[in-house]
């Protein structure tokens, strides 16, 4: 019986190849297990929570909608997100609320970013950073009705700052005619009449800037909600009951001054006197009514050839003819 010959070198090559394959597989398995263990370890130490973030850049004073927000469940749980009631976890907590500051895209929506102080608040009363303290102003919201022609053509919106002009129908003081004193009979006791030089008041309209730098909190049609202190709210209420008419003056955002308006205020008589408006007369009148004088011609500017040598510094310039 003959023995079959087998080449030991060929068999060794297969053994080496098999060993290489097993080594590669073992390395791949080890890499996978180590990487998976690291990921699991990382997840085990970093806890996450569900929170709402901004879907896009949002400006201050914007009323939030569902499209402005995104709910994420991979927000790290840290010192901020772990505060109870600090972070919004559903869109319903934010929709309809008003932002108090600008918000960047992807920014965490914490409730201290809102201007309204209660859930469901449609407009702010206290601004960002304002708090209630024992010595702080008692801010309230009060509404006034202002027609569009008295509100910059109806183009005013929430967030704008306005000055308020009040027009009141003023009643004349009691007459200086003789009167009978209460509890007395007989002839009336004459009350001294004012002298001709004394100021005599008549019934009419009086207009004055009354409140400055008031913020519009909200608007619906011709109804404006204004931020006011309690004393101002009382005065506005009384003016409304008296039939006063309000006019809103839009002021620039850059103008934060409170101006002295003690010298302001006007009536029809003041306008007539200041601008020389004429009183209408019945026609035909008594005699000829003179026409207005012609407007003086404008003096032309001197030509360079007529200017001569320049006047010494500090000497007064010649006034135009007719000046």
CA atoms of 182 and 269, how far apart (whole Å): 35
Task: Inform me whether the pLDDT recorded for 183 exceeds 50.
Answer: no
Question: Structural domain of residue 103, as residue ranges?
Answer: 48-113
Query: Quick one: 82 and 143 in the same domain?
Result: no
Query: Quick one: 265 and 146 in the same domain?
Result: yes
Cα-based distances in Å from 214 to 142, 148, 227: 11, 18, 6
Q: Which residues pair with 51 in a beta bridge?
A: 72
Query: Quick one: 76 and 144 in the same domain?
Result: no
Report the predicted TM-score, pTM, of the whole model to 2 decimal places: 0.53
Q: What is the pLDDT of residue 10?
A: 64
Assigned domain for 102 exists: yes
Task: Inform me whether the pLDDT recorded for 287 exceeds 80.
Answer: no
Query: Which band of pLDDT confidence, cut at 50, 70 and 90, is reported for residue 116?
Result: low
Q: What is the pLDDT of residue 171?
A: 86
Any idea what the CATH number is for the domain that residue 91 is in? 3.90.1210.10
Q: What is the pLDDT of residue 233?
A: 97
* Residues 231-271: tens digit of each pLDDT: 999 999 999 999 999 999 999 989 999 999 999 999 998 99
Count structural domains, the chain: 2
Q: What is the pLDDT of residue 292?
A: 77
Q: Among the three residues 254, 270, 286, which one is the final residue of a domain in this structure? A: 270
Query: Quick one: 145 and 265 in the same domain?
Result: yes
């Amino acid at each position: 019986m003959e023995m079959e010959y087998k080449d030991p070198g060929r068999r060794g090559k297969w053994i080496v190849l098999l060993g290489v394959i097993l080594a590669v597989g073992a390395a791949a398995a080890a890499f996978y297990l180590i990487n998976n263990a690291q990921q699991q370890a990382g997840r085990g130490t970093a806890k996450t929570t569900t929170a709402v973030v901004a879907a896009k850049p949002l400006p201050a004073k914007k009323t939030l909608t569902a499209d402005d927000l995104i709910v994420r469940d991979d927000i790290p749980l840290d010192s901020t997100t772990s505060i109870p009631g600090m972070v919004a976890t559903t869109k319903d907590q934010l929709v309809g609320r008003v932002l108090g500051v600008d918000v960047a895209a992807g920014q965490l929506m914490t409730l201290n970013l809102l201007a309204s102080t209660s859930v469901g608040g449609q407009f702010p009363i206290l601004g960002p950073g304002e708090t209630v303290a024992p010595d702080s102003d008692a801010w309230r919201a009060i509404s006034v009705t202002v027609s569009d022609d008295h509100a910059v053509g109806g183009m005013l919106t929430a967030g704008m700052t306005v000055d308020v002009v009040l027009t009141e129908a003023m009643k004349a003081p009691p007459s200086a005619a003789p009167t009978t004193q209460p509890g007395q009979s007989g002839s009336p006791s004459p009350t001294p009449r004012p002298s001709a030089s004394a100021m005599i008041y008549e019934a009419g309209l009086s207009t004055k800037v009354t409140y400055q730098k008031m913020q519009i909190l909200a608007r619906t049609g011709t109804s404006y909600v204004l931020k006011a202190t309690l004393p101002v709210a009382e005065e506005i209420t009384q003016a409304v009951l008296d039939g006063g008419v309000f006019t809103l003056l839009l002021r620039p955002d850059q103008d934060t001054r409170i101006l002295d308006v003690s010298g302001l205020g006007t009536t029809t008589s003041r306008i007539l006197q200041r601008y020389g408006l004429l009183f209408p007369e019945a026609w035909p009148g008594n005699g000829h009514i003179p026409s207005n004088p012609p407007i003086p011609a404008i003096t032309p500017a001197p030509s360079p050839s007529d200017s001569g040598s320049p006047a010494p510094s500090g000497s007064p310039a010649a006034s135009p003819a007719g000046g």
